[in-house]
Chains A and B, each alone.
Chain A
Amino acid sequence: MATKKFEGIKTFFLMSFMIASIGLIFAQWADGLIDQESESPSYYRETAVVNDSMYVTLTAVARGYELGTGTPVREHKNEQNHTTTPGYTPTPSYTPTPKPTTDWDAVEQDQ
């Protein structure tokens, strides 16, 4: 009788462990996928075929000049991805931009 009860407790612990672990694994996958979306634009593949019509490409900066505003405007469609990509984007005067302000250690500690 006691053995049967002990067996029941062990099964309960095992089931709880499995449910909690699988939940955490799914949460980990979801967390990783959300991170990847914002951090890595993944535009590039080594088999990229460069379109000949793109030989001379007007960038967003130049588009601002063309419109006659006199001020360069940065507005290409992938802007949002670029800013979150860990990269170093100096200003036109070659002075470094400030370091990323997101303190991931602090974010993780908060979590």
Chain B
Amino acid sequence: MVGAQKLVMKINTSIKNKKILPRIVLGGSVLLAIAAWLIGYYSNGTDIIPLVPDVIPGASRVESRDDYYIGLDTEGNVIGYAAVGQSQGYAGPIVMLVGVNLDGAITGVQIVTQHETPGFFRLFETHDFVGQYFGLQYNNPLKLGQDIDAVSGATVSSEAIAQSTRQAIRVIARDGLASPLPPEKRTVKFGFPELTLIGLYAAGYFGHKHRSRIWKKRLRWGTLLTGMVVLGFIYTAPFTIAQVIALLSGYWPDWHNNLYWYILIGGILFVTTVDSKNPYCHWFCPFGAFQECLAQITGAKMYRPRGWSRFFTWLQRGLAFAAVLLGLALRQPGVAGYEPFATLFDLRGTSIEWILLALVTIASLLMYRPFCNYLCPLDPVYDFIAESRRWIREVRRKWQQRNSKA
């Protein structure tokens, strides 16, 4: 009884200390995220066989082998082969089922699973992207820009579909048609966006440390505008919560084609963890730059009503956490994101996304960066990393003190 009272008193003292509450939330959120991850992982289905006749027309029976399927007609004659290929899209793996007949012609291509943002994924239906494959031979290049056209505005997803399809075709060629294709040359994509990103990180890192306020301000405007134009309007590749969820879900894209993704996320995590500075939001976030440009027009200032500051901070964290849980539990990072970034920079989105963008644009004329300060799910991600970092450092310090006393 006395022990319980002591424990309650200790908890009360810790809560008054103002450190324990964020840490209880931090620990609880990690546990909930793990639970959501497990739910998501174990709630996926497994059966692919019923889909095979869709890509091998005329197949009445399907034989399953180790990594491919054989389509047979009613008399038991082999009429085609099917296999599954998988590659990482924008927000998770894209799984393709491909069918090829005995002449080596592609008879069907079907998207089995995808995790992309719904508004973007609709583009594939509109453009009948997979229809391009029908009738092509298995030994054709099947590459974007050669015999396959990418869907404008969804290049990452187009590349993932093309890569998954090629992967499936290779399995069919090797195991079904017994005519293996030569190994595919994989080149690392490194170009202007990757270079710009590295440059922006460097500018942000040294800008933080620069003593002259005038130069710091000039440098910051330079990086903001570069970020908005290059990462925003030209490449539409800002940092999003969908990428964080994809990272947590284990949906790591192929680094050869997605070096940008690794530089962006790796850079943010590295700088935030090591230097405790947010290298992205204030220095080159494209959407933040857009809001800041609007604020410059009207001279809008930061506004936080008195007494409501903590409420808004926790509301923003709650929204971000809900997005993470939703994305992990459903294994759909693209669905969980709610930032109107692509709507602005690529001029594509649902009517809801357009309304949200209009609302944020109007609010940006009245307040300083309203989306960043009240809604953006990425700010709580930095808070989470920063709090974890503080906690780890504190534990390490205490442990070192104990050791030195001993």
Could you tell me which A residues sit within 8 Å of B by CB distance?
A: 7, 10-11, 13-14, 17-18, 20-22, 24-25, 27-29, 31-33, 35-36, 39-50, 54-62, 65, 72, 76-78, 82, 85-94, 96, 99-100, 102-105, 108, 111
B370 CB to nearest chain A CB (Å): 6
The answer to whether B3 has its CB under 8 Å from any CB of chain A is no
Residue of B nearest to A33 (CB): B335
The answer to whether B58 has its CB under 8 Å from any CB of chain A is yes
* B370 and A108 contact, CB distance less than 8 A: no
- The 0/1 profile, CB within 8 Å of A marked 1, for residues 303-326 of chain B is 101001000100100010000001
Contacts known (A41-B112, A48-B46, A105-B126); A88 close to B57, Cβ less than 8 A: no
Given contacts A29-B338, A42-B45, A57-B63, 17 further A-B contacts (CB under 8 A): A18-B315, A24-B359, A25-B375, A31-B350, A32-B117, A43-B113, A44-B46, A45-B45, A46-B93, A59-B53, A61-B53, A62-B61, A62-B74, A87-B54, A90-B57, A90-B134, A96-B134
Complex: A102 Cα to B128 Cα, angstroms: 11
The answer to whether B14 has its CB under 8 Å from any CB of chain A is no
Residue in B51, B60, B125, B303 whose CB lies within 8 Å of A104: B125
Residue of B nearest to A25 (CB): B338
Instruction: Please name the 3 residue pairs, one residue from A and one from B, whose CB atoms are nearest each other, closest first.
Output: A87-B110, A62-B60, A32-B335
Complex: A50 Cα to B67 Cα, angstroms: 10
* B128 and A99 contact, CB distance less than 8 A: yes
* B374 and A27 contact, CB distance less than 8 A: no
B residues 313-368 touching A (CB-CB < 8 Å): 315, 319, 326, 330-332, 334-336, 338, 350-353, 355-356, 359-360, 363, 366-367
Contacts known (A14-B303, A29-B335); A61 close to B107, Cβ less than 8 A: no
Residues of A within 8 A of B84 (CB): 44
A109 CB to nearest chain B CB (Å): 9
Could you tell me which B residues sit within 8 Å of A by CB distance?
A: 44-55, 57-64, 74, 84, 86, 93, 95, 101, 105, 107-114, 117-118, 121-126, 128-131, 133-135, 303, 305, 308, 312, 315, 319, 326, 330-332, 334-336, 338, 350-353, 355-356, 359-360, 363, 366-367, 370, 374-375
Complex: A60 Cα to B122 Cα, angstroms: 29
Residue of B nearest to A34 (CB): B118
Residues of A within 8 A of B124 (CB): 86
A57 CB to nearest chain B CB (Å): 5
* A21 and B57 contact, CB distance less than 8 A: no
Residues of B within 8 A of A41 (CB): 45, 51, 112-113
Residue in A21, A36, A100 whose CB lies within 8 Å of B360: A21
Residues of A within 8 A of B326 (CB): 29
Residues of B within 8 A of A57 (CB): 49, 61-64
* A100 and B46 contact, CB distance less than 8 A: no
Complex: A47 Cα to B41 Cα, angstroms: 10
* B130 and A87 contact, CB distance less than 8 A: yes
Residue of A nearest to B161 (CB): A86
Residue in B59, B101, B353, B374 whose CB lies within 8 Å of A61: B59
B105 CB to nearest chain A CB (Å): 8
Residues of B within 8 A of A10 (CB): 303, 305, 366
